[in-house]
Structure formats: structure tokens, C-alpha cells
Chains A and B, each alone.
Chain A
Amino acid sequence: NAGVTQTPKFQVLKTGQSMTLQCAQDMNHNSMYWYRQDPGMGLRLIYYSASEGTTDKGEVPNGYNVSRLNKREFSLRLESAAPSQTSVYFCASRLRLAESTDTQYFGPGTRLTVL
């Protein structure tokens, strides 16, 4: 059971370049999330997918697009990277069975630098 995996671990882009961050979970969870974390700050929600086939904006969606490819995979795309998107990106999936079980599992993160 790998949990939540993210690729790549590190990436350096030039301003204007595009790239896709990949996320996959093997826990059969319905909901998945993309967060970003700037230095010294808490995480901020970019986009989320409550279930396969649906996606919704979070707190900071500008400059990003997402695709929920299937139940396992949720990708984040930067169409034209900007230095302000330099951050650590975390993907998460959620297990909710009942009120007593409501847990998000986070991946190890992707460290992105935009020059």
C-alpha cells in the first residue's frame, strides 16, 4: 500500500513554461485535493475533487487547472508558470466512513521553483 504518491519530487521551471504534477492514491478514496504551501505558511487549497468526474475550485485556483483522470489519479497543471507559483505542492485523498473516521492522507510533496 503506497498511499498517496506524487511525481516529480522536485522541479525547476522557467517563467512561461508549463508542466503537470501527478498524484495517485491506491486507497480507493473518493475525494482528492491539491494544496500549496509557501515558506513559513500553512497549506492553502487550490482545487479539490469530491468524487470521480467532479472538480471544484478551492481558495487559490488562479493559474492552475486540474484533471480527475479516474478514481486513483488527480493531476494539477500549470499552463504558464510564474515565479509566484514557486511553492511546495501537496496532494491528499480523504477517507470518510462515518463521523468518527474522517482523515486526509497527504503525499510527500513536489517542490517547484519557477525562475
Chain B
Amino acid sequence: DAKTTQPNSMESNEEEPVHLPCNHSTISGTDYIHWYRQLPSQGPEYVIHGLTSNVNNRMASLAIAEDRKSSTLILHRATLRDAAVYYCILSAGGTSYGKLTFGQGTILTVHP
């Protein structure tokens, strides 16, 4: 399975944008890039996913490099509720049945 590399931790101030990087140099052509986050003492929560094009939803934006070897999750205005562990995950298309392989993720701290 293709692996992802994320910084262990990042910090941000409230109401500022946050850019969370992810490297996935061994990504294959059919791998989707998913982002989930996990708030303290909760199960993970879906954030966003994409294949090749940049994606936007109400929670965040996903910027995917042209060669797809890296991507960035963008939180446009961080709030205290965005403090969580953010996981960048590659999920193979086709018959992978949606299996997700979680790494250790990035711990995001948001300061008031």
C-alpha cells in the first residue's frame, strides 16, 4: 500500500488559515487522497477527498499537486473546534472496498 508522510504536529491561531501538508510520492494512478480528522475521545470524521483536481467543501479545501505526489488540506479560518489529529490517507479505487490505512497523522493545535 502506498504510504503518506505528514508532520507530527502543527500550530495555528484562531481565525487564521491552516495548511496541512501530506507527501505521497508512491501514489498510484487509481489512489484517492482522503483526509479524516479525529477530535479528542471521538471516532474519526471525514473531511474531504479527491483524485486529481482540487476539491472544496463546507469544511475545507484540498489542493493536489499536478504530479499528485503531495497534497495540502486547507482550513480557511481555524477555530478552536478544529483542534484534532488530521490523517491523510490513500485509498485505492476499484476493488479496494474502501479500506483506509491510517498513519499517525498531524496533531493540530489552535491557539485562541
Q: Which residues of A contact B (CB under 8 A)?
A: 4, 31, 33, 35, 40-45, 48, 50, 56, 58-59, 90, 92, 94, 96, 99, 102-109
Contacts and interface: CB of A to CB of B under 8 A. Distances in A.
Given A48-B99, A94-B98, A104-B98, A42 B46 contact: no
B7 interface: no
A13 B51 CA distance: 43
Given A42-B102, A45-B101, A58-B99, A102 B49 contact: yes
B100 A45 contact: yes
Contacts of B87: 42
A4 B45 CA distance: 12
A45 B99 contact: yes
A96 B98 contact: yes
B17 interface: no
A102 B36 CA distance: 12
Contact of A106 (B45, B51, B105): B45
Q: How large is the interface on B (under 10, 10 to 19, 20 to 34, 35 or more residues)?
A: 20 to 34
Given A92-B44, A104-B46, A109-B42, 10 more contacts: A40-B104, A50-B97, A56-B97, A90-B43, A90-B44, A94-B98, A99-B51, A104-B100, A106-B45, A109-B43
Interface of B: 32, 34, 36, 42-46, 49, 51, 87, 91, 97-105
5 contacts: A31-B97, A42-B104, A43-B100, A104-B98, A105-B46
Main SS at interface, chain A: strand
Contacts of A50: 97
Given A99-B51, A102-B32, A102-B49, A43 B44 contact: yes
A107 B97 contact: no
Contact of A44 (B51, B102, B105): B102
Contacts of B46: 103-105
